[in-house]
Structure 1
């Protein structure tokens, strides 16, 4: 009997978790990707346009508590912040909607994504493991993966100096039933120049994570949540296809970040929290992008493994 779509998604997700762990080493208690991270608390305040585009609770309430996670790429928990492989950086947002209810946004610091499907991502992991001609052949036959590899991945003095991009499309539903397809963006309010390769080499291995609490001692730091608005005919089911830059961008609100969670609680909360790419809130729905269910399955599987690990690690 052939596998159902859900069974196939879970099978591929399991293979991807194992593939990531094989690539970066087994690190029980850590995420298989974006392993090195930290949690920061704050609030989200929406703009009036957010409530017009979507009836979702976090876009229509005066403010919503958030827990965000800044992270480095790879599944290596001690990867130096100076390592080129630590980019793109990750930025996840959890909106706490009351009780156990929440919705999340997941972004990273480049608008590029290498593949359209989980199966292609599994093939990419295999090619990366093989290297040489195999990797070259894969990149030659997958231009989006080559573009991702070649795309600029800047690093600044602070996580707060970067822009972050949600590569998947979502459908906003307004109170009157109007629908709008969007992609999220998070923009800095602080102008911090990108570091050159030479400047980056001179930094200490944990400079980004050390800078966060020091900066927040001076008061809250703001980031702006935006939505790039799709027009008729724009592709909404392929994370590798960019919408034209002239598409309208609306400001959805302000993230005011206050403090890095205290050691101990930070590690325990990172072990427990499973950010979810699927919105699961009235007013925001997934698009037909196949990566959304795949990413959700990967995060759930790896999150369950992380929670079951005997030690409290991030």
Structure 2
């Protein structure tokens, strides 16, 4: 996972990481999370759209991270600021020419700004106390803020959206732009304000292993297909809901990673918004390179902090 070649993108990403770390700490966004493991099984139509290995192999191991918003690692699950929730998926491809490919989704189809510079300006407005004026001048940011974000009953009863577009390339060279969606087999279920008040601060993360003790958590992995004229380089502009949805496969989650192991792995793993795999190419959306740079910069700092902490406790911890 390399840094972008554009120095301006790297500089903006670095500044954003510092700004977010100043507010939240070493994990700029979605600091509270838990890893789970499972399997992805492709649907027949997936192979006709893309030559990517996970759409053509019989099945692929996956590592999923469910998370809450903000960089506050102990934010209560009941806090409204913990929405939208996140779901990141790592498809573990082994030795199939590429070790892994990732996708990142959130429980809202909205994103506040089209570029990293725009997002930085939004954070500056929040810091100066002028966010009201900023929202009045930036409809996409206002739409993101105003979009209802109810708290889910479970991570397993929420839907997730990939806001960035990607280009699928089939084995015979046909190209099609898509956006990802993830829908729960358990159905959508959210909590009322009164129900939420009765929940504990870790209710979502406590509920997940209890639910999995009863059986796998299952999602449908979908692609919304773009039509001629649909914007593919702007995450703030939606495609019509009339656009065709194609089932790409089934996500079957079977085990919550033990907490200590999950904490260790989350300091190491860096989910990449850019696919970097045959059969899927990034669109020209400028957020992709920006998000990749932010995740890489902050992820490397987390790894370094983890190694320093381990070495201060025990030399064996650096193995």
TM class, shorter-length: over 0.9
Q: Which residue of 2 aligns with 1:17?
A: 17
Q: Which residue of 234, 247, 254 corresponds with 2:250?
A: 254
Q: Is the counterpart of residue 60 in structure 1 residue 56 in structure 2?
A: yes
Q: Secondary structure at the match of 2:93?
A: strand
Q: Is the 8 A contact 1:23 1:129 kept in 2?
A: no
Q: Which residue of 2 aligns with 1:226?
A: 222
Q: Secondary structure at the match of 1:155?
A: coil
Q: Which residue of 80, 91, 105 corresponds with 2:103?
A: 105
Q: Secondary structure at the match of 1:16?
A: helix
Q: Secondary structure at the match of 1:79?
A: coil
**Which runs of 5 or more structure 1 residues have no equivalent in the other structure?**
none
Kindly tell me the number of residue pairs found equivalent between the two proteins.
Answer: 303
Deviations 1:135-156 (A, max 9, x none): 1111111100000000011222
TM-score by length of 1: 0.94
Q: Secondary structure at the match of 1:107?
A: strand
> Counterparts of 2:135 and 2:185 in 1: how far apart (Å)?
36
TM-score by length of 2: 0.93
Q: Which residue of 2 aligns with 1:126?
A: 124
| Aligned pairs (5 A) from 1:1-314 | 6-24=6-24, 26=25, 28=26, 31-99=27-95, 101-131=99-129, 134-309=130-305, 310-311=308-309
> Counterparts of 2:189 and 2:163 in 1: how far apart (Å)?
24
Deviations 1:95-135 (A, max 9, x none): 0000471000000000000000000010011111122xx21
> Counterparts of 1:200 and 1:144 in 2: how far apart (Å)?
28
> Counterparts of 1:263 and 1:194 in 2: how far apart (Å)?
25
Deviations 1:234-277 (A, max 9, x none): 00000000000000000100000001111221111111000000
Instruction: Spell out structure 1 runs of 4+ moving beyond 3 A.
Output: none
Q: Is the 8 A contact 2:80 2:151 kept in 1?
A: no
Deviations 1:3-27 (A, max 9, x none): x961001000000001111222x2x
Deviations 1:18-68 (A, max 9, x none): 1111222x2x4xx21000000000000000100000000000000000000
